[in-house]
Amino acid sequence: MRQRKAKIVATLGPASSTPELIRSLFEAGVDVFRLNFSHGSHDDHRRRFEIIREVERDTGRPIAVLLDLQGPKLRIGRFTSGSVVLVAGAVFRFDLKNQPGDSTRVYLPHPEIFSALSPGVQLLLDDGKIRLRVDECGPDHALTRVVTGGVLSERKGVSVVGAVLPLTALTSKDRADLAFGLELGVDWVALSFVQRPEDLHEARDLIAGRAALMAKLEKPAAVEQLEPIIAACDAVMVARGDLGVEMPPQEVPPIQRRILKACRLAGKPVVVATQMLESMIQAPAPTRAEVSDVATAIYDGADAVMLSAESASGQFPLEAVEMMDSIIKVVEKDPDYARAADAAHPAPERTVADAICCSLRQAARILPLCVTVTYTTSGFTTLRAARERPAAPILSMTPSVTTARRLALVWGVHPVVVREVRDVAEIVEYASEIASREGFAQTGDIFAVTAGMPFGISGSTNLLRIVTLGEPTSDTNGH
């Protein structure tokens, strides 16, 4: 049982692939393991996946596995001398001539970029270090003016600011990786390069219910269609590193808060990612600014925070997880954290499920509830309960191991796989047993139970019952 409500996502890689270390990372606080398909072979990822499932079997705790697809990689061609120096104010040409470039031009093997350009659009190279503005363009070329110059090496990445590219978010590599991951049995799929809701529809069709879908928000175009994109996915990742390349970095913090607020309103989990404890790649302790960055994400209501290179290739993966776990615990003990969560509480929708879950939140404020128990098959009841941010932790009982694993990502949720139940009396009795077994409740403690009747039907949340552990559980008492 975690002594916190926000969750930790950690990326596995060369620095964190042994059974001993993966087990240690889980014990230190990792709730979701990320497999980054931008790096590593299928065999690498298979081995890591099998170790995660072994840890899950040994500990009896559901663990989520997140497959992160690479997405399209747009890169320039090569230079005769390997690199060039671009001077601010100079003219620089991009074209489709597959020839080595020089200080005046370079091959850009992406006709789809040229088709989307117009004067004023900006091209960013090498993670935004080089910035150019389009002055003139056609179907096979673009003349640009260097805004920010510097040394440009060959094969560097290209980002387009101010245009939506006519590209699918799924490359042929992504499709092969997705098929492989779904065969393995991953729980979440993160889709890169999302620009519009339609990108998610394509991925959703391919996944066909075999995993939950997460949209990575790393493009300004996606932020402009934020609400439709959130509606089209199951969760969101705020990929701040890429956002900070394609827009002024000072704009990223308010956009992060806007995304978190919109996800809370929709009842969708949101992960804040990228460079959270970056210095811990090489140092055993983070900077004070990084600690504040993680804390801010928790104060703002993130369901989860993520480690990337810190745990995948850094020198101190275990220490990074322990530090993130400690930061979350300290923040959640701050009275201002609970007040902020309460102040940001979204209005319930006019549904029976939200009426029940809003009442659950009120009950947790009025009564000394030790835990709120949800019984769910699809995860719907638990997600709506988590949206309310109740003061007590959420013990999510589900007969579906798939649902339990997906819920490992969600704020405040302690998922447990249980047998199916048939009626209210049985669910109350079973909830009492599980709450006691999992360490949430003792005889005489008060807890709440919410579920949907008839059982097993998604979206039917309509039951709230207050229970005192150890009292009779007949249908005539307290529901």
- Residue of 7, 34, 264, 405 with catalytic role: 34
CA 236, 192, 309, 18 torsion: positive or negative? positive
DSSP class of 132: E
As a whole number of angstroms, the distance between CA 455 and CA 32 comes to: 28
274 is catalytic: yes
Residue 117 region by backbone torsions, left for phi larger than 0, else alpha for psi between -120 and 50, else beta: beta
- Residue of 4, 48, 105, 216 with catalytic role: 216
- Residue of 2, 75, 145, 196 with catalytic role: 75
User: Could you tell me the CA-to-CA distances from 69 to 48, 53, 89, 170, 387 in Å, in that order?
Assistant: 16, 21, 37, 8, 27
34 is catalytic: yes
- Residue of 11, 131, 240, 274 with catalytic role: 274
Give the number of other CB atoms < 10 A from CB of residue 91: 13
As a whole number of angstroms, the distance between CA 302 and CA 261 comes to: 9
Q: Which residues of 452-462 are buried (b: 16+ CB within 10 A; e: fewer)?
A: beebeeeebbb
**397 and 374 Cβ atoms separated by less than 8 Å:** yes
216 is catalytic: yes
**25 and 318 Cβ atoms separated by less than 8 Å:** yes
Which residues, in sequence order, are bridge partners of residue 92? 144
The alpha-carbon radius of gyration of the chain (Å, integer) is 24
As a whole number of angstroms, the distance between CA 151 and CA 38 comes to: 25
As a whole number of angstroms, the distance between CA 260 and CA 266 comes to: 10
Sorted by sequence, the CB contacts under 8 Å of residue 59 that are 6+ apart come out as: 26
Counting every residue, how long is the chain? 479
> 424 is written with which tokens?
């209210």
Q: Is the peptide bond before 111 cis (omega within 30 degrees of 0)?
A: no
Closest to 72 measured CA to CA, from 197, 238, 245, 195:
195
**314 and 320 Cβ atoms separated by less than 8 Å:** yes
As a whole number of angstroms, the distance between CA 238 and CA 226 comes to: 11
Which residues, in sequence order, are bridge partners of residue 447? 467
Q: Which residues are catalytic?
A: 34, 75, 216, 274
